[in-house]
Amino acid sequence: MDGVSGEALDALLRGFLSEDVGRLDVTTESTVPPGTRTRGELIAKSDCVVSGLPVARRVFTLLDEDLGWEGEAAAGTCVAAPATLARLSGRARAILTAERVALNLLQRMCGIATATRRYVDAVAGTPCRILDTRKTVPGLRPFDRQAVRDGGGVNHRYDLSEMVLIKDNHRRLAGGVARAVAAARAGAAGVEIQVEVESEAELHEALAAGADRILVDNQPPATVARWCAIVRESPRRPFVEASGNIRLENVRSFAEAGVDAVSVGALTHSVAAADVSLELSPG
């Protein structure tokens, strides 16, 4: 997951577990006898796109290295509720203590994947791709981005170092689009440059400055279509992305306007978690 695996992933997950457990899982330790074993199923109780099962498994395994795990549903699979996502078995105390962290991540990732798939389906048949944004909860970005991919979406830049993105505040502080692009070319040589534009004048300025990517922000589909036509006529045709005020009901209109991609912050900043539960029995 985006450079987070092995020991780095385990460190993140151990941090999540530490936050949740505190000093002691007093309920489990006081009610479940030592040595008790259990069997269980992770059940999707809402229709969803599967994402996050390897992460959930790792959370459980960190507390029970001999965990039994089978029948894992493939990432990206659409399931209709009720559906068994995986079966597990092991030490009851460990599984109960890990349950909330595993479910929190699994529910969030399935929710993001499900929302992403809806947007991907809405633009099916067009060349338009659905992108995520950096509007993620700190610490959860690798998980959120994986969920977007599982839903059929495409990741935007991971962090501020991956691409220059000149937005309104950058433009104002740099003295305009042309100056901002020139400064970026000089100060970040070899890094792709995207310019957010909010007027046709800014679009022409960005094209003249040689921007690699254009971000059309907060414009209606008709305006986006007109600006895409202008871009297509430019000698050096940059990548065009639309953002702002884009919802499931209107995303296809933006796709049909001719953009290469649409970025949707709501995929990760307004997650509707999937309904997933862990049902255990003695065993």
167 is catalytic: yes
Helix (H, G, I), strand (E, B) or coil at 267: helix
212 is catalytic: no
135 is catalytic: yes
Asked whether 98 and 62 are in contact (CB, 8 A), the reply is yes
Closest CA relative to residue 226, chosen from 208, 244, 242? 242
Between residues 283 and 215, the one the model is more confident about: 215
129 is catalytic: no
Q: Which of 39, 100, 134, 157 is catalytic?
A: 100
pLDDT of residue 3 exceeding 80: no
The pLDDT tens digits for 140-196 are 999 999 999 999 999 999 999 999 999 999 999 999 999 999 999 999 999 999 999
The pLDDT tens digits for 256-273 are 999 999 999 999 999 999
Domain 125-269: homologous superfamily in CATH? Aldolase class I (3.20.20.70)
pLDDT of residue 104 exceeding 90: yes
Q: Which CATH architecture has domain 6-120+271-282?
A: Alpha-Beta Complex (3.90)
pLDDT of residue 45 exceeding 90: yes
45 is catalytic: no
Q: Which of 196, 202, 205, 260 is catalytic?
A: 196
Helix (H, G, I), strand (E, B) or coil at 273: coil
User: What are the residue ranges spanned by the domains of the chain?
Assistant: 6-120+271-282, 125-269
- Predicted confidence band of residue 283 (pLDDT cuts 50, 70, 90): confident
Q: Please give the pLDDT value at position 236.
A: 87
Compute the distance between CA of residue 71 and CA of residue 59 in angstroms, rounded to an integer.
17
pLDDT of residue 2 exceeding 90: no
